[in-house]
A and B are shown apart, each in its own frame.
Chain A
Amino acid sequence: MDLLETQPAPEDGRGEDALVEALRMGDESEFAALVRRLGGPMLRVATSICGDRVVGEDVVQETWVAVVKGLDGFEGRSTLKTWIFSVLVRRAASAVEREGRSVPFTALASAEVEAGESPVEIERFLPADHARWPHHWASPPRPWGPSEQLGSAEVRREIESAVEDLARMQRAVITLRDLTGFTAAETCRLLEMTEGNQRVLLHRARSRVRRRLERYFAGEQR
């Protein structure tokens, strides 16, 4: 699941200390490997928060500057990856605040959560006063069979488009959790949000992506 861990990398312990030391000494090949490993996921996370690819690219660039200049201050209390992403998220949050919104970044999650949203259209359930099956499915989900090619390039594009269309904080949470592989606790720390808000936003985001896939597969059948 964790895309960041799919390539062999010194993630912890002595391996990571050695990597940090090499970077401090100006080891270019280690830096290049780190950029290749984290660059893509960083751009995706920054873009999800900023809602704009070009702003995301600037944030990634700023982050590398800050990381290289801040390496001496890195104390290894978190992994290098988590530290780099915390710098990235802070920069992305500042970019969002610079857009001229009156709301501070950390207030955005609560605002989205309070807006309310149901994971499935209410019309798909029987009414509350139904004699036999109140609030049971009226229009249940049709099982996805082997013909529903979840791994196909087209489905991937549909998923990316569904994620892009989410509200900002839903998009940020699902990108950190499901696309990048951060845990719930790490995501809460990075986005400075409560565990409850994180879960609600993840729930709505996943529910929306499922609905998009359902509609996509239903359209294909026609």
Chain B
Amino acid sequence: MNIINNLWDYRHLTLKLAISEFKLRYKNSILGFFWSLLEPLLMLLVLYVVFTNFMRVKVEHYQLFLLMGIISWNMLSRGTAMSLNSIIGKPGLVQKVYFPREVLVISSCLTALLMTLLEFIVFGFFMLIFNVMPTITIMYFPLILFIEFLLILGLSLGLAALNVYYRDMQYIWAVVLQAGFFAAPIIYPISIIPEKYVWIIMLNPMTRIIDMLRGSVIYSASPIFGDGIFILAAALIVLAAGYLIFLKLEPGFAEEM
């Protein structure tokens, strides 16, 4: 409780850092933040062409299905990748002033969240174009997104702290993300997985998160209660583990940099 109270005192700084980082991302490019929207759209285009013409995947509203998968996966990969650098990338802030170092990681995750929210706005336009209207089930969307955010935060805290001591963490993590993109049902539906392997795919909390996000926004499906408990529990466990690693390593940050 004490830790949370302490962090709450720094909410202003956390937001300030997140927003300035967000501004910086787009300040130097001519197309501004359209770049960030262009990236998932181009990815969508390529994957869409490949998977509808060659793989013959049959999914209702496949364009939206795919785009939702890409955006929610991107939030994870962007959030953790930015967090990996959030501490070693700011030696001045770590070695010359003191505030809880968690602030740096949280603000990086918030920047990733802001960028993802922009992409979801584009997603809204796509729904209009394809004439898919969300129903009341969309009210679960922010809740699921929040649970995903907790999961990302947990991973980020652990990874960012480890990266101070072992700089190859970022390369290892890049490989894990690459594999994860294909191991999670982003481009394909779970239904194409042979029955006996489904449980393995389901262990990955991102499987259920992506599935539930799609259900609530595109297919007007209420999430199953058990699934909700599963992802919440997974997110909290990862958050606790990540934070423990972070707290264990944090005292040496200024020396190790």
Are A and B co-members of a single complex? no
Give residues in A with beta carbon < 8 Å to B. Answer: none
Give residues in B with beta carbon < 8 Å to A. Answer: none
